[in-house]
């Protein structure tokens, strides 16, 4: 239900009279008649249900209610002025809201924001990281980058990147152990291992031809970005996605330890509401290109 408000003119007349302490002075400054000012203020007093001024000799003085209203109203007009100034006679950039998986945001996106913004001329980005289970986030944003199986009923989606899992570790850790990559799977298991709550070592062990028994880990992480940071610091070695570990590998903080790798089935997708397909198409294409560059260079 729409609220009724007094007219802007009556509120401006009230503020001017409050500042001047005179209806006549307010009338002159607003190029109105004394009776017009009186009528607008009377209408305003009827709206609020109580007097806003009392007369003291030749002056008018605010009542307690009038003083409270004047203070609040002045702030309100300042906000209106700021809102008008923010859009008046200026081009407003298109803004897109991007929801990014927290691990991807930390390990990959932040370093590529300049390139992404450069590819989206005249567009600003609001970057969020909603919890993985929050499907409602898809309706509140323009585009989401999420890991999954491509099953988001009611939304459009596109595969951004298939990936692979490899064991990565710090060159300093290998040096301290007197080892050089590539290692055998058995040598790898002799190093401190890092665990990830959403991933088991067993598929990698099976691919390496080793017994499928989950090994002990010196530290377990619920965020792949944390695991990659720990591996880079030499805490241990762990299984990591190629995309998330690409920067650390290129910078020499991590190396692949063995030739054993396994494909991922839980992959990176762009997800968006169907009605926003045209709006997000340039963003999806820019992200896909940056991912392709990352994979090619890693």
41 and 109 in a single domain? The answer is: no
**Of 40, 62, 87, the domain-final residue:** 87
Q: How far is CA 38 from CA 10, 14, 33, 84, in A?
A: 10, 9, 9, 29
176 and 253 in a single domain? The answer is: yes
219 and 139 in a single domain? The answer is: no
Rounded CA gap, 58 and 55, in Å?
7
122 and 212 in a single domain? The answer is: no
In a domain, 1, yes or no: no
User: What b/e sequence results for 289-298 when a residue is b if at least 16 CB atoms lie within 10 Å of its CB, and e otherwise?
Assistant: ebbeebeeee
Residue range 202-224, pLDDT digits in tens: 999 999 999 999 999 999 999 99
Position 215 scores a pLDDT of 96
Is residue 240 within 8 A of residue 278, CB to CB? The reply is no
**Of 87, 114, 134, the domain-final residue:** 87
Report the CATH number at residue 26: 1.10.10.10
In a domain, 287, yes or no: yes
146 and 287 in a single domain? The answer is: yes
Is residue 175 within 8 A of residue 190, CB to CB? The reply is no
SS3 125: strand
- Predicted structure pTM score: 0.68
33 and 149 in a single domain? The answer is: no
In a domain, 200, yes or no: yes
Identify the domain containing residue 61 by its residue range.
8-87
β-bridge pairing 164-169 and 94-100:
unpaired
188 and 129 in a single domain? The answer is: no
Side-chain half-sphere exposure of 212, counting CA atoms within 13 A? 6
Residue range 39-67, pLDDT digits in tens: 999 999 999 999 999 988 888 999 999 99
104 and 233 in a single domain? The answer is: no
Say what the alpha-carbon torsion angle 183, 188, 192, 197 is, to the nearest 10 degrees.
120
Q: Which residue from 219, 221, 215, 229 is spatially nearest to 198, judged by alpha carbons? A: 221
- Token output for 83: 């809102």
Q: H-helix or E-strand containing 247?
A: helix 242-250
Rounded CA gap, 281 and 278, in Å?
5
What are the residues facing 157 on neighbouring strands? 271
Residue ranges in the chain whose pLDDT is less than 50: none
205 and 64 in a single domain? The answer is: no
Position 121 scores a pLDDT of 84
Residue range 243-271, pLDDT digits in tens: 999 999 999 999 999 999 999 989 999 99
Distance between start and end Cα atoms, the chain: 57
122 and 144 in a single domain? The answer is: yes
169 and 259 in a single domain? The answer is: yes
In a domain, 2, yes or no: no
All residues at 6 or more sequence positions from 133 whose CB lies less than 8 Å from its CB, including other chains:
none
CA angle 127, 230, 289 (to 5 degrees): 40
In a domain, 3, yes or no: no
50 and 130 in a single domain? The answer is: no
Count of beta carbons in the 10 Å neighbourhood of residue 60: 22
Position 89 scores a pLDDT of 65
In a domain, 149, yes or no: yes
Report the CATH number at residue 210: 3.40.190.10
Provide the domain count of the chain. Answer: 3
């Amino acid at each position: 239900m729409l609220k009724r408000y007094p007219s802007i003119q009556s509120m401006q007349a009230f503020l001017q009279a409050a500042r001047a302490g005179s209806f006549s002075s307010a009338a002159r400054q607003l190029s109105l008649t004394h009776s017009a000012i009186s009528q607008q203020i009377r209408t305003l007093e009827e709206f609020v249900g109580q007097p806003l001024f009392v007369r003291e000799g030749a002056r008018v003085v605010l009542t307690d209610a009038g003083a409270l209203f004047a203070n609040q109203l002045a702030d309100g007009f300042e906000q209106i002025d700021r809102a008008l100034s923010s859009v008046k006679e200026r081009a407003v950039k298109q803004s897109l809201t991007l929801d990014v998986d927290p691990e991807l945001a930390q390990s990959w996106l932040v370093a590529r924001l300049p390139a992404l913004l450069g590819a989206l001329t005249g567009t600003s980005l609001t970057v969020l990281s909603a919890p993985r289970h929050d499907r409602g986030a898809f309706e509140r944003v323009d585009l989401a980058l999420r890991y999954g199986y491509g099953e988001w009923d009611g939304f459009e989606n596109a595969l951004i990147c298939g990936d692979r899992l490899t064991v990565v570790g710090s060159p300093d850790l290998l040096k301290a152990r007197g080892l050089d990559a590539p290692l055998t799977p058995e040598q790898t298991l002799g190093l401190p291992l890092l665990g990830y709550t959403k991933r088991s070592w067993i598929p990698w062990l099976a691919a390496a031809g080793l017994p499928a028994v989950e090994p002990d880990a010196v530290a377990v992480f619920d965020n792949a970005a944390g695991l990659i940071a720990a591996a880079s610091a030499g805490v241990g070695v762990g299984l990591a996605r190629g995309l998330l570990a690409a920067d650390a590998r290129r910078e020499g903080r991590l190396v692949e330890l063995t030739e054993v790798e396994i494909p991922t089935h839980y992959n990176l997708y762009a997800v968006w509401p169907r009605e926003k397909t045209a709006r997000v198409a340039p963003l999806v294409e820019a992200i896909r290109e940056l991912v392709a560059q990352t994979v090619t260079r890693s």
